[in-house]
Structure 1
Amino acid sequence: MTIEVSPTGKVARLGAHHRWTIGAAGVVAVVLTALIVLMKPSAPRGWENGSFLNDCCGGLTLHDGEMALNGKPATRYTIGRDAGGFYVLPRFYVGGMDNLGFEIDGSRPAAKLRLDRLPDPQEVQVPGARETFLFERRPGVVP
């Protein structure tokens, strides 16, 4: 039971009707918050799919949440968007190694691989130890 004190100092009790109204308002607030969170638009699955090449490291293929490096399965990834734009976030750290290929390191935090746009990205930026490598989509190359 809820007790309310009026400005004159008198104690008043809230009736069942008032408690019901307050409870219903709380339920409505929770439902609306859940709907807003669930309706947040996400990047459509598959819009990032493609194969990208760079002379230093070779090929990077993105296909429905699976990343392949130089034709070999490497790791899963998710797509996200922040103030810098769209990105691919691998499960493990993936980076370019100067003229050697790719580095995959499960002990380091994953780094965002930046996409120039979605859908149909034409470029992917992959971090490296000393520089960022630009991978370009090659026409006719299918994931």
Structure 2
Amino acid sequence: MRRWIGVGAGVVAVIAGLLIAWRVFLYDPYVSAGENGVYANGCCGTIELRDGRILLNGHKSVRYVVGRDDGGAFVLPRHYVGAFPYRRFEVDGSAAVVNLRLDRLPTPGTITLYQGSAAYDFKRKAPPPPN
């Protein structure tokens, strides 16, 4: 009987471990705040916000969350994202993360990226017409 109790405890431990791993590595608690869309700037290209991911010029993808503080609404990427004239974007995992400011929520009209004290405004592009 004790052997079956030990096996049962082992099964419970494995199931608990799998649930914890799912919660930590796979569960995505993202909830849209109406920010999804494509934003463009002449110097740097496009930023697409789509369900918790920033897509930079259709290539680099970085996870983000939306928040609000005394300065207003913002997008907080997982890694540093900055705009650089004529060089497009830089994504740097070793640099301090900077908020990308939204002008409003829901449905922001602009996102502002910073390079030091310089600010670059990305304006929302109109969505394509429905088919």
Letter of the 2:123 counterpart? E
Alpha-carbon RMSD across the aligned residues, in angstroms, is 1.9
Cα distance change of structure 1 residues 79 and 58 upon mapping to structure 2, 3 Å threshold: same
Q: Where in structure 1 do 4 or more consecutive aligned residues deviate above 3 Å?
A: none
Distance (whole Å) between structure 1 residues aligned to residue 120 and residue 37 of structure 2: 17
Aligned to 2:9: none
Which protein is bigger by CA-based radius of gyration?
1
What are structure 1's unaligned runs of at least 5 residues? Answer: 1-42
Displacement of 1:109 in angstroms is 1.2
Mapping of 1:32-111 within 5 angstroms?
45-111=32-98
What TM-score, normalized by structure 1, do the two folds share?
0.65
Q: Deviations over 1:1-37 (max 9, x none)?
A: xxxxxxxxxxxxxxxxxxxxxxxxxxxxxxxxxxxxx
| Structure 2 residue 122 is matched with structure 1 residue 138 | no
Of the structure 1 ranges 112-121 and 130-139, higher mean CA displacement relative to structure 2 is found in: 130-139
What are structure 2's unaligned runs of at least 5 residues? Answer: 1-29
Cα distance change of structure 1 residues 61 and 110 upon mapping to structure 2, 3 Å threshold: same
Distance (whole Å) between structure 2 residues aligned to residue 124 and residue 93 of structure 1: 15
Contact 1:88–1:112, Cα closer than 8 Å, also in 2:
yes
Task: State the identity %.
Answer: 42
What TM-score, normalized by structure 2, do the two folds share?
0.71
